[in-house]
């Protein structure tokens, strides 16, 4: 994929893959409650680090299908707050 995660100011690309997040922590549960969904559109992947941590990827860029401003990065295998079910 290799696409960046910034959708603001650009036309959206069609997304076919979705990811289900399962909360592992209270913080994860609160984020899912705030989003009002647990299935997100996968819009990008990054093997390198992302801005908020030095941990190497694979990082997944996810967008809430109900709110395109709700964008989050989660680690595919080692996220502290979520378990990722990628091929939902």
Report the domain count for the chain.
Answer: 1
Is residue 5 assigned to a domain?
no
- Residue 52 in any domain: the answer is yes
Whether 42 contacts 17, CB under 8 Å: yes
**Regions of the chain short of the pLDDT cut 70:** 1-16, 87-88
Angle at 51 between CA 50 and CA 53, to 5 degrees: 75
User: Does residue 48 sit within a domain?
Assistant: yes
Residue ranges making up the domain that contains 66? 18-85
Q: Is residue 13 part of a domain?
A: no
Contacts of 62 (CB under 8 A, 6+ apart): 19, 21, 40, 41, 42, 43, 71, 72, 73, 74
pTM: 0.74
Q: How far apart are CA 75 and CA 58, in angstroms?
A: 6
- pLDDT score, position 12: 52
């Amino acid at each position: 994929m290799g696409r960046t995660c910034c959708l603001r100011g650009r036309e959206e690309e069609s997304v076919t893959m979705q990811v289900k997040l399962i909360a592992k922590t209270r913080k994860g549960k609160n984020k899912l409650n705030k989003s009002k969904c647990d299935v997100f559109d996968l819009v990008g992947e990054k093997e390198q680090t992302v801005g908020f941590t030095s941990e190497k990827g694979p990082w997944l860029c996810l967008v809430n299908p109900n709110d395109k401003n709700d964008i989050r990065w989660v680690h595919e295998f080692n996220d502290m707050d979520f378990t990722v079910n990628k091929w939902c």
